[in-house]
Structure 1
Amino acid sequence: MKKEYRVKSEKDFQDAFQNGTSYANRQLVLYVYPKIGQVHFRVGLSVGKKMGNAVKRNKIKRFLRHAIHELSPAINNEYDYLIIARKDIVNRNFYEIKKSLVHVMKIASIIDIKKLEELQ
């Protein structure tokens, strides 16, 4: 993911946690924080140490980044997103993680269904 698509600063994370809206399923928690006038969306990923060693955590983050990259044309640009992985995601493959991400984004109504169908 390019640098301008990342949420990195502590302040941005805290703003999203405190003022954003959260949506969840068994594998992921998604915080949505509006940033009106933003050219493109930004994403922050969090995978805790309870998920396993660094290799497992990095694998989960790679899968999430790749899923976001594939879904990016269908994602609403006027928000910052924080994605927090839950313990249930550990032994999932890429397609299950992508399906879970799409599910939580549909719950949050931040993904364009027509564009999503065109991508698949």
Structure 2
Amino acid sequence: MRCGFKVMDFLSIKENKDFCRIYAKGKSFVSPVVVTYVLKNRRKNIRVGITTTKKIGNAVKRNRARRVIREAFRILAPSIKPGYDFIFVARGKTPYVKSTEIVRALSAQLKKAGVMK
């Protein structure tokens, strides 16, 4: 607990079969900084997976990309309907942009997906 709110309000997707299912059946939304896959689940919670490839850069850049995406999603999480799985795929620009730009891109993608309250 830091600053009065929970660090994680969502569950992580860790199983390869879950990633494969969401890639295959989910709807994708693309922007220059992040790609979002959305799929409705049968649970009442939000699950999130973040992927970064070696194309992004070295470990430091990949970790920064994951941190920035996770923080942007944490900011938007209260306004998202429960019952969805999300996968966020970092792009080449992701480690170099500010989190506000990621928030803007994610917000637009999630509104287009129809998962915002």
Q: TM-score, normalised by structure 1?
A: 0.84
**Identity within the alignment, %:** 32
Preserved contact between residue 28 and residue 104 of structure 1 (Cα < 8 Å): no
Question: How many Å apart are 1:92 and its aligned residue?
Answer: 0.3
Q: Residues of 2 paired with 1:59 and 1:25: CA distance?
A: 18
The Cα RMSD (Å) is: 1.7
Distance 1:53 1:73 in 2: 32
Structure-2 separation of matches of 1:106 and 1:4: 19
- With structure 2 as the length reference, what TM-score do the two structures score? 0.86
Match of 2:84 in 1: 79
Q: Could you tell me which runs of 5 or more consecutive residues in structure 1 were left unpaired when the two chains were aligned.
A: 113-120
* Larger relative helix fraction: 1
| In the alignment, structure 1 residue 14 sits paired with structure 2 residue 20 | yes
Out of 28, 34, 37, the position equivalent to 1:28 is 34
The 5 Å alignment of 1:29-108 reads 29-36=35-42, 38-108=43-113
Contact 2:9/2:74, CA 8 A, preserved across alignment = no
Shift of 1:39: 2.2
Amino acid at match of 1:23: F
Give the paired residue count: 111
The alpha carbon displacement at 1:46 in A equals: 0.6
